Amino acid sequence: MRKILAVAALAALATASTGALAEPNPYDFQNLPKQPGQIQMVVAHTVNMEWSSHTAVLKRFTELVSIYTNNQIRGQIFPGAQLGGELEMSQQVRQGKIHVALPATNNLSAMAPSLNVFVLPYIATSTEEVNYLQDKLTPILVPRVIKEANVRIVGWENSGWRAFFYKSDNPIEKPSDLSKLKMRVPPNPIMIASYKAWGGQPTPLGWTELYNALQQGVVQGGDNPVTDVIGMKFHEVINRMTRFHYTILTHPIIVSETWFRGLSKPHQEAILRAGREATDYIRWWQPQDEAAWWKKAEAAGVKVTDIKDETEWVTKARAIWPEYYKTIGPDGEALAKQALGIVSDYQKMSVKK
């Protein structure tokens, strides 16, 4: 009887503990009381999933800003494109109407061409290389992007490597396999040219239009990280994915330069610190989340193919670089070579380790 009572007590304790852990944090940036003179910080992004790398990095950033300013800056996050699409939000950040946003690098490059250096296919081929490149190249790009778009990069989010997702009887393994598939691409000239170099049929299309386009056969696929593909339920209208490393989907945390310059020095330092630490946090968080999404993809019946040798993909994609240096700026070639040098330095350091 005592044994039964002991087991019952442990079960009750476990239930109580679980219930306690499920309660929301009573003291975070969302529910702390307002203060006189408190600065409101409008934060926006386009993803409508409760937990994605987008929401995770912006929640972390907003909370850290609250902590490091002692709640003198209070953030409010608007997810799911409530304040517009990525380019529209970026324009509002430039104007100071939105204070913080998280656009894709390839979309923000329409306003800040210097960022196209990160869009060059196969500029880096591992997550570690991308992280190192961001750390070393961002200080060079920050003043350029401020001049181009009046926004300041304070941190980064990486959503994972863009993988092909598509509906087909056969897997994509070599560039020629793309010839019979219409693939959705973002409206970025370098990304469109990459597909053409592979012999594909790139079809620029808005992200919000994609599910219906797949369902209706307007396109047969596209490329995005697995979190986006499965999170947006594309597995209902596609049956395959192919993993490779031509580009990683990145989102800079951008802050309105007009708003930033109006802040006190301590508040500016808090913003910059929060950006650095949110970047470190999401680099830890995202790979774990991505691994879980690949399991969900396989559980949903999606057939996953890995390209073992990417030599042909690399050769054809990098062949377009000289034609698109100009999309980066007058010194596009020099900046691209500088980026390659940074990646090469990382590779050398990795070998020594």
pLDDT digit string (tens) for the chain, length 353 residues:
444 444 444 444 444 444 455 677 777 777 777 888 899 999 999 988 878 999 999 999 999 999 999 999 999 999 999 999 999 999 999 999 999 999 999 999 999 999 999 999 999 999 999 999 999 999 999 999 999 999 999 999 999 999 999 999 999 999 999 999 999 999 899 999 999 999 999 999 888 789 999 999 999 999 999 999 999 899 999 999 999 999 999 999 999 999 999 999 999 999 999 999 999 999 999 999 999 999 999 999 999 999 999 999 999 999 999 999 999 999 999 999 999 999 999 999 988 76
Q: How many whole angstroms from its chain centre is CA 244?
A: 17
* Domain residue limits at 198: 163-247+302-352
Q: How far apart are CA 157 and CA 191, in angstroms?
A: 20
Q: How far apart are CA 185 and CA 199, in angstroms?
A: 14
In this structure, are 263 and 139 located in the same domain? yes
In this structure, are 155 and 238 located in the same domain? no
Q: How many whole angstroms from its chain centre is CA 17?
A: 35
In this structure, are 208 and 74 located in the same domain? no
pLDDT at 309 (0 to 100): 96
In this structure, are 154 and 288 located in the same domain? yes
pLDDT at 219 (0 to 100): 96
pLDDT at 22 (0 to 100): 66
Q: Dihedral sign for Cα 342, 347, 348, 349, please.
A: positive
Quote the DSSP letter at residue 221.
E
Identify which of 192, 163, 162, 195 has the alpha carbon closest to the alpha carbon of residue 177.
Answer: 195
Q: How far apart are CA 27 and CA 14, in angstroms?
A: 24
In this structure, are 150 and 189 located in the same domain? no
In this structure, are 187 and 241 located in the same domain? yes
Quote the DSSP letter at residue 5.
H
Instruction: Answer whether residue 42 is part of any domain.
Output: yes
In this structure, are 144 and 171 located in the same domain? no
pLDDT at 190 (0 to 100): 96
8 Å CB contact between 336 and 141: no
Which strands make up the sheet holding 163-166, listed edge to edge?
201-204, 182-185, 221-224, 163-166, 240-243, 303-306
In this structure, are 124 and 266 located in the same domain? yes
* Number of compact structural domains in the chain: 2
pTM of the model: 0.89
Instruction: Answer whether residue 105 is part of any domain.
Output: yes
In this structure, are 306 and 290 located in the same domain? no
What is the SS3 assignment for 207?
helix
pLDDT at 23 (0 to 100): 78
The CATH number assigned to the domain holding 175 equals: 3.40.190.170
In this structure, are 203 and 236 located in the same domain? yes
pLDDT at 11 (0 to 100): 45
Q: Length of the chain in residues, anyone?
A: 353
Instruction: Answer whether residue 1 is part of any domain.
Output: no
In this structure, are 49 and 167 located in the same domain? no
Instruction: Answer whether residue 19 is part of any domain.
Output: no
pLDDT at 256 (0 to 100): 98
Q: Which residues contact 106 (CB under 8 A, 6 or more apart)?
A: 116, 119, 186, 188, 190, 191
Identify which of 298, 268, 40, 272 has the alpha carbon closest to the alpha carbon of residue 163.
Answer: 298
**Pairing outcome for strands 303-306 and 151-161:** unpaired
8 Å CB contact between 185 and 146: no
Identify which of 154, 155, 213 has the alpha carbon closest to the alpha carbon of residue 182.
Answer: 213
pLDDT at 2 (0 to 100): 44
Residue that the structure tokens 């992200």 belong to: 207
